[in-house]
Amino acid sequence: MTTVFGVPLPAILGQLMLGLVNGSFYALLSLGLAVIFGLLGVVNFAHGAFYMLGAFAAYIGLASFGVNYWWALLLAPLAVGLLGIVIERLLLRHLYQVEPVYGLLLTFGIALIAEGVMRSLFGASGKSYPVPSLLQGGLNLGFMVLPIYRAWVILASVTVCGVTWFLIERTRLGSRLRAATENAKLVQAFGINVPLLVMCTYGAGVALAALAGVLAAPVVQVSPLMGSSLVIVVFAVVVIGGMGSIPGAIVSGLVLGLIEGLTKVIYPEASNIVVFVIMAVVLIWRPAGLFGKEQ
């Protein structure tokens, strides 16, 4: 049998496939972070908490209101996005004039509060969310059996990433957004409602995190801590891709998922630090990140 690093080839292919699944989550989460940072300049530390709230919204919807998975994909991001808009309106808005670190502290506080509230409501061990019946079962790829649900995650994530990139880089709305971040006063003078635009952008970024949460709910335990362990990795992904770069976030999300997958076969103990090692190397070599522009 063909081997790579002493590991059989089918095993490597299997791990790459799983890496791609994880990479899809990273891409989706880092995309939201990159949108918020790129357009608002806010380091949104509450991103993991919104991801967790998205998963819990799906769970609560199913357990208490009989909302199925497919509706949850739409409603949970909407609900959590609205919460994001409220937070932007009431709190975050007042911090645009001061240093970014205040925004970071505020969102970090929000994350801690959200985690604490969910822990006291649902406990630290969390809840289990079933895989929707349409997506149960597995696909035999020859080298592994891939659960259909995981294949769906890749498809959904790549589609959402593509659509978001298109919206921001290739549409009129996107060009206004980018203009508003370059020079808010000037754009406002042209009669565009910049505060509204910014508010909706934050809401959309938060909704992306919640969508990732709903996608993750059937594969991981829905627990209050599910976001906090992920958000640090996702930040590293965004830094590697280049803070605020949308293609950077998507590409580095997928690639780092793959690298992490390989690490899990070759040296499992290092699998939770490999992303940070890469981050350190990238920062030394290209301080603005792989896709970032030097300022």
Longest dimension (CA), the chain: 67
Q: Which among 82-90, 145-153, 166-174, 191-199 is the span making contact with other proteins, rule CB under 8 A?
A: 145-153
Q: Which among 73-81, 97-105, 258-266, 286-294 is the span making contact with other proteins, rule CB under 8 A?
A: 258-266
Q: Which two tokens stand for residue 238?
A: 């965004």
From CA 47, how far away is CA 207, in angstroms rounded? 10
Counting residues that bind other proteins (by CB under 8 A) gives: 40
Residue 174 in the binding site for other proteins (CB under 8 A)? no
Tell me how far apart the terminal alpha carbons of the chain are, to the nearest angstrom: 50
Contact 178, 39 (CB under 8 A): yes
Residue 48 in the binding site for other proteins (CB under 8 A)? no
Residue 172 Cβ vs other proteins, minimum distance, rounded to whole Å: 39
Sign of the dihedral through C-alpha 242, 247, 253, 255: negative
Contact 76, 255 (CB under 8 A): no
Residue 158 Cβ vs other proteins, minimum distance, rounded to whole Å: 18
Q: Which among 51-59, 64-72, 139-147, 186-194 is the span making contact with other proteins, rule CB under 8 A?
A: 139-147
Show the 3-state SS of 231-295.
HHHHHHHHHHHCCCCHHHHHHHHHHHHHHHHHHHHHCHHHCCCHHHHHHHHHHHHCCCCCCCCCC
User: Which residue(s) pair with 3 in the sheet?
Assistant: 8
Within 67-96, which residues bind other proteins (CB under 8 A)?
none
Residue 168 in the binding site for other proteins (CB under 8 A)? no
Sign of the dihedral through C-alpha 84, 89, 90, 95: positive
Interaction mask 210-249, other proteins, x per CB under 8 A: ---------xxx-x-xx--xx-------------------
Q: Which among 9-17, 160-168, 178-186, 242-250 is the span making contact with other proteins, rule CB under 8 A?
A: 9-17
Residue 132 in the binding site for other proteins (CB under 8 A)? no
Residue 144 in the binding site for other proteins (CB under 8 A)? yes
Residue 93 Cβ vs other proteins, minimum distance, rounded to whole Å: 30
Q: Smaller CB distance to other proteins: residue 66 or 191?
A: 66
Q: Which two tokens stand for residue 257?
A: 């998922």
Q: Smaller CB distance to other proteins: residue 188 or 228?
A: 228
Sign of the dihedral through C-alpha 278, 280, 284, 288: positive
Q: Which among 125-133, 186-194, 202-210, 284-292 is the span making contact with other proteins, rule CB under 8 A?
A: 125-133
**Residue for token pair 């909302």:** 67
Residues that bind other proteins (CB under 8 A): 8, 11, 14-15, 18-19, 21-22, 115-116, 119, 123-128, 130-131, 138, 144-145, 147, 149-150, 219-221, 223, 225-226, 229-230, 261, 264-265, 268-269, 271-272
